[in-house]
């Protein structure tokens, strides 16, 4: 699917299937070794249902959503997110977005993650600089 970057246009959904192993790998890469991301017993002792995804990992998923949708027709200029809910390994994390506006060669996007029940767990915005001819 090729985006036309028109207001209201939906980005192709990206579904991630995070695992506890991936959380351990991300902890090593990011240096975020807080036990709630890999130690089930510790996470439960803090009142969580189990280990949870790193917030910045979810931000990375959303960046992948945007860059995959944009492809060579633009580049990511800005990304901001706000964490609103928990995502757990072993459960799909749906990454979604839509074009909120296009002006002067820049597309503004609303982006978010959803849990399997359809609850938004991360909300965000992204700005994409469009290549020549990328906006209408």
Task: Give the residue extent of every domain in the chain.
Answer: 14-18+53-130
pLDDT at 5 over 80: yes
Give the pLDDT confidence of 14-41 residue by residue, as tens digits: 999 999 999 999 999 999 999 999 999 9
pLDDT at 135 over 70: no
CATH superfamily of the domain spanning 14-18+53-130? Hotdog Thioesterase (3.10.129.10)
Nearest to 40 by CA among 50, 27, 31: 50
* Phi–psi pair at 21, nearest 5 degrees: -60, -45
* ∠ Cα 59 120 58 (to 5°): 15
pLDDT in the model for residue 136? 42
Percent of the chain residues topping a pLDDT of 90: 90
3-state secondary structure of 79: strand
The strand ranges marked E within 30-119 are 74-83, 93-103, 106-114
CB 126 within 8 A of CB 62: yes
Please state, in angstroms and rounded to a whole number, the distance separating the CA atoms of residues 79 and 23: 22
The pair of three-digit structure tokens given for residue 78, joined into one six-digit string: 């800005």
CA dihedral 30, 42, 116, 16 (to 10 degrees): 20
Measured from the Cβ of residue 1, the count of other Cβ atoms closer than 10 Å reads 8
pLDDT in the model for residue 133? 58
pTM of the shown model: 0.93
């Amino acid at each position: 699917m090729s985006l036309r970057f028109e207001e209201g246009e939906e980005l192709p959904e990206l579904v991630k299937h995070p695992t506890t192993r991936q959380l351990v790998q991300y902890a090593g890469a990011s240096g975020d070794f807080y036990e709630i991301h890999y130690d089930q017993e510790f996470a439960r002792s803090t009142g969580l249902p189990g280990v949870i995804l790193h917030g910045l990992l979810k931000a990375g998923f959303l960046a992948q959503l945007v860059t995959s949708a944009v492809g060579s027709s633009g580049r990511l200029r800005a990304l901001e997110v706000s964490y609103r809910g928990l995502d757990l390994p072993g459960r799909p994390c749906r990454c979604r977005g839509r074009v909120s506006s296009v002006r002067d060669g820049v597309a503004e996007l609303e982006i978010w993650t959803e849990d399997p029940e359809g609850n938004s767990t991360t909300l965000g915005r992204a700005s994409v600089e469009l290549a020549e001819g990328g906006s209408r």
